[in-house]
Amino acid sequence: MDLLFTNIGLLATPAGSAARKGKAQGEITLIENAAIGVLGDKIFYAGPAGQAPSAARVIDCGGRLVTPGLVDCHTHLVFGGWREKELSLKLAGVSYLDILKGGGGILNTVKYTRAATEAELTAKASGLLSEMLRHGTTTAECKSGYGLTLEDERKQLRVVKALQGTQPVDLVSTFLGAHAIPVDYAGNRSDYIRLVCEEMMPAVMKEGLAEYCDVFCETAVFNPEESALILERAKELGFGVKAHVDEIDPIGGAEMTAAAGCISAEHLIRASDRGIRDMAEKNVIAVLLPATSFYLDKPFARARKMIAEGVAVAVATDFNPGSSPSLNLQFPMNLACLRYRLTPAEVLTAVTLNAAAAIGRQESIGTLEPGKHADIVIWDAPNLAYILYRYGNNLVHTVVKNGKVFPVGI
C-alpha cells in the first residue's frame, strides 16, 4: 500500500453506492481511532486502526475528524466579470427577477462572458477551483449558460473540458443553454428554444462537451411546458437531465422534473406537496441550495418534509456571480443544519454520497470505502457536530484528491 492515514480520531462516512433517502440519509458509519489506506488513486482500506495494513508512507491525522471529499453538485463555475455593482440595486429592494428583466443579472454576466477569451475564462475558473479545493471540494459540477449563443456556450464548456485533468478537482459538465432568453431573442422565445434544441444541443453532444442538460424553469424564464420540451429533446440526444425549479415561484417545476425523468431537481424552495411526492416516486434527487435562500433573502426549502417523504436530499453551493457568490460549501452545510434542521449525519450524506448521486458518480466517490477514489478531507475538528456548529471560517486541515495530499491548514 502507498499511503496510510493513521490516528484518525473519528472517521465519518455514509456507506454504499446509491443515494440514501428517508431514515437512511442520517445513518452513517462512525469509527473512532480509524485508519485509511490508499493504493494509487483509490481507497484500499478504511476501518479500525488496529486492522490496517502497513504502507510506504504514513500520515498522522492528529486525532482529527476525517470525511469523504465534498462534492459540490451545482455550480456555475465559468463566467466573466462579477456582479458587485448590483449590490446597490439589491439593497434598494429590487428583486433578482426584476434585475434580470431590466437586462441585468444573468444577462449582465452573459455580456462579460461573451467578451472574455477562452484563456481568460480558463485562468479565472482555475483560480476558483483551487479555492474550492482548499475548502474541501474534490468534485464539482459546472454549468454553462452565460454564452447563450452556440459559440459562446461552446467556449464555456471547452473551459471545463480543459480544466478536467489539468487541476485536481474532478469536474462534471452540464449544458445550460436554457438559462435565460438572450436580449436579441426577447420577442422571440420560440426561436431561441429552437436554437437550443436543434443547434446547440446536437453540437454540444457531438463534441462531447457536456454530460447533463439543465434548464432554468422559472417565472419569466422558461415555463414548465417549455422546460419539458427542452429536456425531452436533451434525452433524445443522450444527455442526462436536471432542472432549476420552483426557486422563486411555485409553478409546478418539481412535478415537471419527475415527469421528465430528471436525475435531480435543484432549488425547490417553493416545491409543492404534490411535487415532492412525485419526486419521491420517481427517485429524483433534491439538490438544495440554502446559500441562495440566504443571499436572496428567500424562504428555505422544506428539506425535512422531503426526507420524510423519501426524497434523497443533496446540498450544494449554487456558486454563481449573482445569487450565491461563495464557493465555500461549508456555509451551505451550516445552513442545512441550522435552517433545514438536518442532523450533522444527514448533512454529511447530502454533500457527499447524495451529491455524488445527483451527478451520477455514486459508484466512484462520495464514501470512504475500498474501491472508491481516495478523495478525503481531514478537518480541524474533533467530531462531526463541530463542523456544523462553527461557521464562517475554513475548517479544512488537509484535502486528499485521488490519493494526492494537499495541506491547507487554518
Q: In the complex, which residues of this chain contact Zn ion (CB under 5 A)?
A: 318
CA distance 28 to 43: 18
Handedness of CA 222, 225, 230, 231 (dihedral sign): positive
Interface residue with ligand IZC, options 320, 328, 334, 354 (CB under 6 A):
320
Query: Does 156 sit near ligand IZC (CB under 6 A)?
Result: no
Using the minimum distance from each CB to ligand IZC, give the nearer residue, 246 or 309. 246
106 is in the binding site of which of ligand IZC, Zn ion, none (Cβ under 5 to 8 A by kind)? ligand IZC
In whole angstroms, how far apart are CA 217 and each of 10, 16, 267, 359? 42, 32, 11, 19
Residue 323 contact partner, candidates ligand IZC, Zn ion, none, CB within 5 to 8 A by sort of partner: ligand IZC
Only one of the segments 84-92, 182-190, 316-324, 352-360 lies at the binding site for ligand IZC (rule: CB under 6 A); that segment is 316-324
- Least distance between ligand IZC and beta carbon 33 (Å): 44
**DSSP secondary structure string, 261-322?**
T-SEEEE-TT--HHHHHHHHHTTPEEEE-HHHHHHHT-PPP-HHHHHHTT--EEE---BBTT
Q: Binding residue for ligand IZC (CB under 6 A) from 14, 68, 104, 105?
A: 105
CB of 244 to Zn ion, least distance (A): 5
Do β-strands 313-315 and 57-60 pair in parallel, antiparallel, or remain unpaired? Answer: unpaired
Q: In the numeric block, which cell numbers belong to residue 114?
A: 461573451
Nearest approach in angstroms of CB 13 to Zn ion is 27
Q: What's the DSSP call for residue 54?
A: P
Tell me if 398 contacts ligand IZC by CB under 6 A: no
44, 192, 212, 216: which one contacts ligand IZC (CB under 6 A)?
216
* 105 touches, from ligand IZC, Zn ion, none (C-beta below 5 to 8 Å by class): ligand IZC
Using rule CB under 6 A, residue 323 touches ligand IZC: yes
CB of 219 to ligand IZC, least distance (A): 12
Examine residue 106 and tell whether it contacts ligand IZC (CB under 6 A).
Answer: yes
401 Cβ contact partners less than 8 Å away, ≥ 6 residues apart: 69, 133, 138, 168, 169, 170, 374, 375
Q: Which does 216 bind (CB under 5 to 8 A by kind): ligand IZC, Zn ion, none?
A: ligand IZC
312: left (phi over 0), alpha (psi -120 to 50) or beta: beta
Query: Judged by CB under 6 A, which stretch of 306-314, 317-325, 328-336, 363-371 contacts ligand IZC?
Result: 317-325
Report residue 8 as a C-alpha cell.
484518525
Number of residues that bind ligand IZC (CB under 6 A): 10
> What is the DSSP code string of 343-370?
-HHHHHHHHTHHHHHHTT-TTTSSS--T
In the complex, the residues that contact ligand IZC under the rule CB under 6 A are 76, 105-106, 109, 216, 244, 320-323
